[in-house]
Amino acid sequence: MTESVLTEEAATGPGPSSPPPARGVLWRRLRHDKAAATGMAIIALMVLVALLAPVLTALEGQDPTTQHAELVDSATGGTPLGSLGGVSGSHWFGVEPKTGRDLFARLVYGARISLGVALGATVLQVLIGVGVGIAAGLGGRLLDGALGRLTDLTLAFPSVLFAIALMAIVPDSIPRPLILAVVIALLAWGSTARLARGQTLSLRTRDFVAAARLSGAPPLRVARREILPGLVTPVLTYAALLVPSNMITEAGLSFLGVGVRPPTSSWGQMLSQGTTWFRPDIMYVLVPGGALFLTLLGFTLVADGVRRVLDPRNIEVAA
């Protein structure tokens, strides 16, 4: 999904004149939305899997780094022995081709990387984008023009190619998941800034913002007390859409070989290695691919539910 489409979908929520519902009201409406509730259940499951990775692997009795050469057939290049990639009571999802590392353990530990990078990148992306958008919307013509050109440059930049180049030269001493999150955010905050700027320009014409500015309130106070509450709805919806987008970006970079490196695992890295083993060991593709699909589906359902819940037309009907 492109960033322009994400921005358009996020902007379909309530306008600046529609204050967001209270937190308790929003939570209650989301719980009664079947699609959103399903999405939240999927996300909660994946987050629990990531957090409880050491416990789950201890229950299985395996770890993500130990190699089991006796479980792969060296004569065929490392194809796992047994059916479905070596699925057994000791290896719930089978083993990794060539190395024999436990696939379930690598999946649950890979969830930490994939979810952590996507969530970290989203938070940083929103912080930068909202900050730049508010500054452009409340600043003068010169500041707005300068930040607008910077935003346009970010959006027009070949971000994937630049990310590949940056990740290729990053020293191994720096944690690659952290660098992945920072690189993704720095190259993708432009659409968030555009959304925040557009909403800020609309909000600054409202009477309560004009009154605050005429009363002599400093710009930071106007931004914090008058502008930010009006940005909650579109930014919240957009952030829910950004997480799956960033997960796809992380998976793509890992698929291209510039993401996290073995023995650290991520779903994108597993898919990258699994493409060469699709015929002899389909489980090595289905397991990480299925996990990535379910997680993306969960975030997409939640984002769509937030958009519906915060739609002024639905709020009026509910009232």
Q: Output the pLDDT for position 11.
A: 46
Percentage with pLDDT > 90 across the chain: 14
Strands 79-80 and 72-73, sheet pairing: antiparallel
Give the N- to C-terminal CA distance of the chain in Å, as an integer.
34
Q: What is the pLDDT of residue 56?
A: 93
* pLDDT for the residue numbered 43: 92
Lowest-confidence pick of 1-15, 163-177, 238-252:
1-15
- Quick one: pLDDT at residue 188? 85
Give the phi and the psi of residue 215 in degrees, each rounded to 5.
-75, -5
Give 102's strand partners. 95
Query: Are the CB atoms for 235 and 195 separated by under 8 Å?
Result: yes
Residues 6 or more apart whose CB falls under 8 angstroms from that of 208 comprise 226
Which structural domain range is residue 300 located in?
20-318
Q: How far apart are CA 165 and CA 217, in angstroms?
A: 45
pLDDT tens per residue across span 204-245: 778 777 777 777 777 778 787 778 887 877 888 888 888 888
In a domain, 10, yes or no: no
Helix (H) / strand (E) containing 71: none
**Does the residue 124 lie in any domain?**
yes
The answer to whether position 8 is within a domain reads no
Question: Is the pLDDT at 166 greater than 70, yes or no?
Answer: yes
The better pLDDT of the pair 131, 312 is held by: 131
pLDDT surpasses 70 at 196:
yes
Structure token digits, residue 153 = 């440059």
- Measuring CA to CA, which residue among 32, 44, 1 is closest to residue 294? 44
As for how many domains the chain has, the answer is: 1
Instruction: Report which DSSP code applies to 98.
Output: T
CATH of the domain at 144: 1.10.3720.10
b/e sequence 95-131, b meaning 16+ C-beta within 10 Å = bbbbbbbbbbbbbbbbbbbbbbbbbbbbebbbebbbb
Looking at residue 26, its pLDDT comes to 65
Cβ-Cβ contacts under 8 Å for 102 (sequence gap 6 or more):
57, 60, 62, 63, 64, 66, 68, 91, 93, 95, 96
| Residue 185 maps to a domain | yes
Q: Is residue 193 a part of any domain in this protein?
A: yes
Assigned domain for 14 exists: no
Asked, for residue 11, whether it belongs to a domain, the answer is no
**CA atoms of 191 and 8, how far apart (whole Å):** 10
pLDDT band of 107, cuts 50, 70, 90: very high
Q: How far is CA 132 from CA 12, 16, 127, 147, 150, in A?
A: 21, 18, 9, 7, 10
- pLDDT at 15 (0 to 100): 44
| 178 has a pLDDT exceeding 80 | yes
Contact 253, 164 (CB under 8 A): yes
The model carries a pTM of: 0.78
Structure tokens at 69: 């050469």
Mean pLDDT is lowest, of 3-17, 78-92, 232-246, for 3-17
Q: Quick one: CA torsion of 32, 33, 36, 41, rounded to 10 degrees? A: 40
Whether 21 has a pLDDT exceeding 90, the answer reads: no
Burial of 254 (0-12, 13-18, 19+ CB in 10 A): buried
Confidence category of residue 170, pLDDT binned at 50, 70, 90:
confident
